[in-house]
């Protein structure tokens, strides 16, 4: 387990002064991930919120070697960097023990970049891929992605008199990655910082590709007050909308189990993107979302018991 005082005493690798929104989940995640790294790191980031607000020329919030990529190819680029590093280290031209981290939003990971990510893992590159998952294309206008939950209002799944927001359930990308048999995979969120830091260190120590799907509340796209970011992330865990678990060596383990599973209404009611559901003509959208959450949680409970 990480110690807060030790983390706070470290030199900042993701510094303040960037253009992230007040209460931005992605910026908190980037800072926590880099604080957790115990080795020198090289970072790559796909186009998206995190890249845009942290690298406005001529400034940068990244106090580490950093590469910006297009939406679709950060996993491919970091795989190439890691491969070059292995060659140079084998030839004795590099002595340092480096780690490699790729950052991408849900748009650049769930949708646009999944082919490169799949290839990176299949080729067994020792790269940690971090998806900061704010459940929509927030940087380009809050359009739905395949990570957007059912019932959410976005500019391309608008809630109205006929349709109650997005009709489809979320893609379960973590399980898709687990099917690749990575060295390590997990879900985390910024509200449980110690769980997140512990998982980052496990991922970076793993001998092979690793993946972290980190829940990143977005105060703009989710429509809540900026000071509620941590509270929203914790409620996602307590309602089991975002289970915290890990997969390693063929075994599932739930890392944070709520003492009392809260109904999803409490999570939905904290955000403007779901406010229309409480005025809908029937309770079907919320009921369907609750059934989806319960199914995934109960399946996870069984998998963790078996393993």
Q: Which two tokens stand for residue 72?
A: 């679709």
- pLDDT score at 5: 79
Domains defined along the chain, listed by start: 4-306 (3.40.50.970)
- pLDDT score at 23: 96
The CA distance from 140 to 122, in Å, is 31
Q: Which two tokens stand for residue 229?
A: 């970011």
pTM for the whole thing? 0.96
Contacts within 8 Å (CB) and 24+ apart, 16-22: 16/61, 17/59, 17/61, 18/53, 18/54, 18/56, 18/59, 18/61, 19/52, 19/53, 19/54, 19/56, 20/49, 20/53, 20/54, 21/53, 21/218, 21/219, 21/220, 21/226, 22/219, 22/226
* Residue 22: exposure state from Cβ atoms within 10 A (0-12, 13-18, ≥19): exposed
* CA nearest to 54, candidates 81, 33, 73, 38: 33
- End-to-end, the C-alpha distance of the chain in Å comes to 22
- pLDDT score at 1: 64
Q: What is the pLDDT along the chain (307 residues), one digit of tens a residue?
A: 677 778 877 889 999 999 999 999 999 999 999 999 999 999 999 999 999 999 999 999 999 999 999 999 999 999 999 999 999 999 999 999 999 999 999 999 999 999 999 999 999 999 999 999 999 999 999 999 999 999 999 999 999 999 999 999 999 999 999 999 999 999 999 999 999 999 999 999 999 999 999 999 999 999 999 999 999 999 999 999 999 999 999 999 999 999 999 999 999 999 999 999 999 999 899 999 999 999 999 999 999 986 5
- pLDDT score at 10: 83
C-alpha distance from residue 160 to each of 20, 27, 280 (Å): 30, 32, 9
């Amino acid at each position: 387990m990480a110690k807060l005082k030790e983390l706070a005493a470290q030199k900042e690798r993701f510094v303040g002064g960037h253009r992230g929104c007040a209460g931005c989940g992605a910026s908190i995640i980037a800072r926590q991930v880099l604080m957790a790294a115990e080795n020198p790191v090289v970072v790559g980031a796909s186009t998206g919120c995190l890249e845009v607000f942290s690298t406005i020329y001529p400034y940068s919030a990244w106090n580490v070697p950093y590469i910006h990529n297009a939406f679709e190819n950060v996993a491919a680029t970091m795989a190439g960097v890691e491969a070059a590093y292995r060659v140079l280290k084998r030839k004795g031209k590099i002595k340092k023990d480096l780690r490699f981290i790729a950052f991408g939003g849900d748009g650049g990971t769930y949708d646009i970049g999944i082919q490169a990510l799949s290839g990176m893992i299949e080729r067994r590159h020792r790269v940690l891929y971090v998806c900061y998952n704010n459940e929509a294309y927030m940087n380009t206008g809050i359009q739905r992605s395949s990570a957007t939950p059912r019932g959410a209002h976005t500019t391309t799944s608008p809630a109205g008199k006929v349709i109650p927001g997005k009709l489809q359930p979320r893609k379960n990308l973590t399980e898709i990655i687990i099917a690749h048999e990575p060295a390590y995979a997990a879900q985390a969120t910024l509200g449980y910082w110690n769980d997140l830091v512990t998982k980052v260190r496990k991922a970076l120590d793993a001998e092979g590709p690793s993946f972290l799907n980190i829940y990143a509340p977005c105060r703009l796209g989710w429509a809540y007050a900026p000071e509620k970011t941590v509270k929203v992330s914790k409620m996602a865990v307590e309602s089991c909308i975002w289970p915290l678990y890990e997969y390693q060596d063929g075994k599932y383990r739930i890392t944070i189990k709520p003492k009392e599973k809260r109904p999803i209404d409490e999570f939905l009611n904290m955000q403007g993107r779901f406010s229309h559901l409480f005025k809908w003509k029937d309770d079907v959208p919320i009921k369907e979302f609750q059934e989806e959450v319960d199914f995934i949680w109960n399946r996870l409970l069984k998998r963790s018991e078996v393993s």
